[in-house]
Structure 1
Amino acid sequence: MGRFTLTGFIKSQYATRPPVQKVDLAGKTVMVIGANAGLGFEATKHFATMKPGRLILACRSQSKGQAAVEKIRAETGCTTAELWIVDLAEFASIKRFIDQFEQDGGRLDILLANAAIVSSKYERSKDGWETRSVLNLSSCLHTDSLPSLQVNCLSIPLISLLLLPHMVRTAREHSTVPRIVVVASEVHYFTNIEKRVLESPEMLATLGSAEYCTPKIMNSRYFLTKRLSIFFVRALNARIAVSTPLVVNAVNPGYCYSNIRQVRKAFRGNVS
């Protein structure tokens, strides 16, 4: 893989898009986190066309999540779509979600970790991690306040790790190869982790501290969270035994139409 450049990025936007692939998902369970709008919804709708045995839309909002389920049913004819509620801004909500899956989830073949937030105001979550006012998020209201560090960098890995044993069990019981897919972005190239953060005793605590999170730092926080997401995928892959029938990867959707793109003028422009 070559070095990332802005010129190369611009050229890539004019490249021919590969055809969308379809496979038979009969009998398999697919879960999409942040599934009610934007990229998450479009991915979920595509999964629905492949007739999964179960399609779980993991969303924060009951009303928006249910609306997404009904829209998918109407547009694809999928009758196996269902809504599960999880708030990635609260670890207690994740625990309830995992408890529900242990009781009622069964197998899990595909986990698409899509939820992420972009904004610039420093706040703290109930769990004590950095939060910011949400300007736009596929699975949240515009007026909500959510933790970018917690949602993007802590909760996504946490929920992935807690579901991982169920996916390994699925692989062994059904002779299949489950997948954990984390939605990344090339914006992870746009930032660096400062030396003082890397050398601090608790890197995440430093990244989430009020002293460190100046307006300048917060302005590029989304980029940093995407870099940390890449680190998570790499670290998880390094720790999974080669013999484990599980694929963990990160996908880059590129520069495209999405709710998150409306957050700042820098993300806007002519996109085909």
Structure 2
Amino acid sequence: MPPRAAAPRSGGGVRQSVTDSLVIAKRNLLRMLRIPEMIVFGLIQPIMFVVLFSYVFGGSISLPGAGLDPESYREFLMAGIFAQTVTFATAGAGAGIAEDMHKGLIDRFRSLPMARGAVLTGRTLADLVQTALTLVVLAVVALIVGWRAHEGVLRTLAGFGLLLLLGYAFTWIGALIGLSVRTPEAATSGGLIWLFPLTFVSIAFVPSQNMPSFLQHVAEWNPFSATVLATRELFGNLPANYPVPDAWPMRNPVLASLLWSVLIIVAFRTLAVRKYRSAA
């Protein structure tokens, strides 16, 4: 009588879950290294945004407390560019998972005795590493065009930590999208189409005071805006007389950023793991 195949494990301890997640993360990182154009093309867009917004729009946008000062706008802008870059990792996460689904790789993973959710956790961790690399390169470009952080090393690292936490939260949204569509192309489109209004109806590129009143409330309660303002405060990139809006997330941006990111991770990780368990 032939031996029975091991049944897939439905759960597993924390140690096993961490081990399985790291194995999957290593697999995805090795894949990125073997396809370096994935990293190169991922760097081109944010660098273009830095250059275009700094030199094309820098002298045309008035900041409360600074006026039409290109240098002040350049420092004001960079937190928005950093935040936009980490959230755009959503599209890559969704496309990668959709590609694995399309090739049948997810079905093979589901048949193995591994911790539930490790495939998705490993994928998001690999995307987090890629996002961190992108941030490092982008920070160097920002320094070249004149951006500076003025609040010391610890507060600067805290700002980048908030950015990476937001990026990690958004990769779980990408994971859910990737599991919900049929092709990588659909995952890429689905991962980007909602990001543009999210990032532009925010305080990333212009102050909310310059918007119509109904959009001001949307921008000030936008999770993206909370992280942008928090990083501006931690980097010391706000003009001296900049009027902070009265909305609670704008008055408590660091706490609001942490709460929004954790809430997104908990909600979308739960939905993504549930979708993964039933995906075919």
Indicate the TM-score class for this superposition, using the shorter chain for normalisation. Answer: under 0.3
The structure where helix makes up a greater share of residues is 2
Structure of larger gyration radius: 2
TM-score by length of 1: 0.26
Q: Which has the higher contact order (CA 8 A, sep 6+)?
A: 2
TM-score by length of 2: 0.26
